[in-house]
Amino acid sequence: MAQALLPAALTLSSAQGSEARPGRAERGGVPSVGTRHARVRASRDGHTSARRNKAMSAPRITIADAAQHAGETVRICGWLYNLRKSGKIVFPIVRDGTGLMQCVAVKSALPDALFETIKDLTQESSVIVTGKIRAEQRATGGYEMDVEDLEVVQRVPESDPYPITPKEHGVEFLMDHRHLWLRSQRQHAIIRVRHEVIRAVREYFDSHGFTLVDTPIFTPAACEGTTTLFEVNYFEDSKAYLTQSGQLYNEATAMAFGKVYTFGPTFRAEKSKTRRHLTEFWMVEPEMAYATLEDVKQLAEDMLVHVAGRVLENRSAELKVLERDVSKLEAIKAPFPRMSYDEAVTKLQSKGSEIQWGGDFGGTDETLLSSDFDRPLMVDGYPSAVKAFYMAPDPARPEVALGVDVLAPEGYGEIIGGGQRIHDAALLLRRIAEQNLPTEAFDWYIDLRKYGSVPHGGFGMGIERCVAWLCGLEHIRETIAFPRMLYRLKP
Ligand code: 4AD
Ligand code: MG
């Protein structure tokens, strides 16, 4: 029966995400190349070129749309994902970015040269396949294609084969080949979930009265502490910093539009090599005028429920590839549990943590705290000293801030940070001075407290942390196409 069937390659079980390739031992004889096929075609009496002409006139479809074309002869443009052989039948599995299609090439139905070309195809060669779509329950996606013609656009030579093989590869190797690794089913699924998360986030804010306002990447000063700033030369003697957050600008635009959000790349010179940190990540940041900490918490909860719902609704196939336990996502419903920082410290101490009141939570503390819940946990009232300069103090207890962190379940830790901002000019000036920040860089920000200041607040959610959690990933590096980390700037 069929040899070299590598079903595991379709639902990669290892975190490495190694890939299937056609078994080389099966490829007997002279390697065929695309030009050989072309020469054969030219030398024929019209039989093959008539076939090619017919193929060229078949409508091009994507694999995702195959169901709508059952019984029709169509063209699929893609890459060879895998190849199985069974005597006089060859099964090229083609991927086109929208799905996988098992094609069936029968020797007796095809010119000899064409059959040989198909039989000798190499992994990741680019191919255009023409054939009839047929329902087949056992096939991935429920359809197969009976091959009528196949054009090789570029054949990957045996001398320099596709480097990602079915064997286990180390993470460094895969990261070095990230430009190719993205073709694997698992990586593909993650990026599609990421797209869905971004789409759902935008959909949420767009349908709730928020105006999208983009904020600058080059900024004159720190927003989230001076220790994680990336400095760049900005002409002559001046310096600029890559933005850590669009929040300060959002505060200005919120006073102009009421409710705003920004979505863009943010940068942190994080010297930490953890599974949660990137140096470049994408953050969505809503900001609302006339809003309190409670409004911010409700917004975060409502948005997360919406996002988890959309991922479940629209990305179930991808979640399956990732072997994600979807019951964990189905549990993401309001209301989310809430806890004060004070309670969290007591709880952590009872679980054996060394944390003392006044300290910030580390990754382990966040994991301990959130592991008791099946939905995100909202912790508020952190000590002002561990939070950013702009956080409003609780009027009843000025030593704690009106800020909230949302900790994802299953040990994922903080995915959202936000809260209410200081809206009193004098207090804000004091905080800027206390933190040794350059007052002149913040004059415009202080203006916002002089001209119609109102209570306001918002939050920031790191898209990659959210995706890592929803996909159930070990490490944040797989949630973005080309991650930027302490020791990773290439490819
Ligand atoms: O908690 P953070 O630092 O908050 C802010 O930047 C606020 N100015 C946001 C606001 O209120 N508008 O960062 C917000 C979120 C974190 O909860 C986390 O999800 C993500 O950004 N984040 C990171 N993600 C990946 N790598 C890093 N190094 C990250 N640092 C923060
Ligand atoms: Mg934070």
Across the range 394-401, mean pLDDT stands at 96
CA of 479: how far to CAs of 177, 280, 305, in Å?
15, 12, 20
Ligand 1 atom nearest residue 250's Cα = 12
Mapping DSSP to helix (H, G, I), strand (E, B) and coil, where does residue 41 land? helix
- With cut-offs at 50, 70 and 90, classify the pLDDT of residue 48: low
268 Cβ closer than 6 Å to some ligand 1 atom: yes
- With cut-offs at 50, 70 and 90, classify the pLDDT of residue 167: confident
| The pLDDT of residue 141 | 82
Distance CA 141, CA 103 (A): 12
| DSSP codes joined into one string, 296-355 | HHHHHHHHHHHHHHHHHHH-HHHHHHTT--HHHHHT--SSPPEEEHHHHHHHHHHTT---
- Cβ pair 388, 457 in contact under 8 A: no
CA 395-401-405 angle, to 5 degrees, is 140
- Mutate which of 283, 297, 485 for ligand 1? The one with the most ligand atoms within 8 Å of its CB, which is 283
pTM above 0.85?
A: yes
- Mutate which of 243, 244, 281, 406 for ligand 1? The one with the most ligand atoms within 8 Å of its CB, which is 281
24 or 337, higher pLDDT: 337
- Cβ pair 452, 440 in contact under 8 A: no
| The pLDDT of residue 273 | 87
One-letter amino acid identity for 127?
V
283 Cβ closer than 6 Å to some ligand 1 atom: yes
277 Cβ closer than 6 Å to some ligand 1 atom: yes
Ligand 1 atom nearest residue 417's Cα = 1
| The pLDDT of residue 23 | 29
**Adjacent-strand bridge partners of 259:** 288
| The pLDDT of residue 10 | 31
Which residue's CA is the nearest one to ligand 1's atom 28?
277
Q: Could you tell me the distance, in angstroms and rounded to a whole number, from the CA of residue 465 to the centre of ligand 1?
A: 9
One-letter amino acid identity for 315?
R
Which residue's CA is the nearest one to ligand 1's atom 1?
417
Each residue of 58-111: pLDDT tens digit? 999 999 999 999 999 999 999 999 999 998 999 999 999 999 999 999 999 999
| The pLDDT of residue 281 | 98
Each residue of 235-259: pLDDT tens digit? 988 999 999 999 999 999 999 999 9
Which residue's CA is the nearest one to ligand 1's atom 23?
462
All residues at 6 or more sequence positions from 356 whose CB lies less than 8 Å from its CB, including other chains: 345
| The pLDDT of residue 39 | 39
Tell whether the model's pLDDT for residue 287 goes beyond 50: yes
Distance CA 455, CA 401 (A): 14
Helix (H) or strand (E) holding 267: strand 259-267
Each residue of 415-451: pLDDT tens digit? 999 999 999 999 999 999 999 999 999 999 999 999 9
Q: Could you tell me the distance, in angstroms and rounded to a whole number, from the CA of residue 184 to the centre of ligand 2?
A: 32
Across the range 203-226, mean pLDDT stands at 95
Helix (H) or strand (E) holding 206: helix 185-206
Ligand 1 atom nearest residue 268's Cα = 28
Ligand nearest to the CA of 460: 1
Tell whether the model's pLDDT for residue 152 goes beyond 50: yes
Ligand 1 atom nearest residue 272's Cα = 28
In angstroms, the first-to-last Cα distance of the chain is 41
Q: Could you tell me the distance, in angstroms and rounded to a whole number, from the CA of residue 414 to the centre of ligand 2?
A: 7
Q: Which residues of 172-188 are buried (b: 16+ CB within 10 A; e: fewer)?
A: eebbbbbebbebbbbbb
120 Cβ closer than 6 Å to some ligand 1 atom: no
392 Cβ closer than 6 Å to some ligand 1 atom: no
Ligand nearest to the CA of 360: 2
Ligand nearest to the CA of 467: 1
Tell whether the model's pLDDT for residue 17 goes beyond 60: no
477 Cβ closer than 6 Å to some ligand 1 atom: no
Tell whether the model's pLDDT for residue 166 goes beyond 80: no
Q: In 10 A of CB 415, how many CB atoms?
A: 26
Distance CA 164, CA 162 (A): 6
- Cβ pair 397, 382 in contact under 8 A: no
Ligand nearest to the CA of 389: 1
462 Cβ closer than 6 Å to some ligand 1 atom: yes
CA 435-436-442 angle, to 5 degrees, is 90
Ligand nearest to the CA of 265: 1
459 Cβ closer than 6 Å to some ligand 1 atom: yes
- Mutate which of 201, 361, 465 for ligand 1? The one with the most ligand atoms within 8 Å of its CB, which is 465
- With cut-offs at 50, 70 and 90, classify the pLDDT of residue 165: confident
Which domains can be identified in the chain, with CATH numbers?
Answer: 7-162 (2.40.50.140), 184-479 (3.30.930.10)
Q: Could you tell me the distance, in angstroms and rounded to a whole number, from the CA of residue 417 to the centre of ligand 1?
A: 6
Distance CA 458, CA 451 (A): 20
Ligand 1 atom nearest residue 283's Cα = 21
278 Cβ closer than 6 Å to some ligand 1 atom: yes
464 Cβ closer than 6 Å to some ligand 1 atom: yes
Indicate left, alpha or beta for 29 from its phi (over 0: left) and psi (-120 to 50: alpha): left
Q: Where are the beta strands (DSSP E) in 41-191?
A: 73-86, 89-95, 100-106, 126-135, 143-154
Tell whether the model's pLDDT for residue 215 goes beyond 80: yes
Tell whether the model's pLDDT for residue 28 goes beyond 90: no
| The pLDDT of residue 55 | 78
- Cβ pair 406, 453 in contact under 8 A: no
415 Cβ closer than 6 Å to some ligand 1 atom: yes
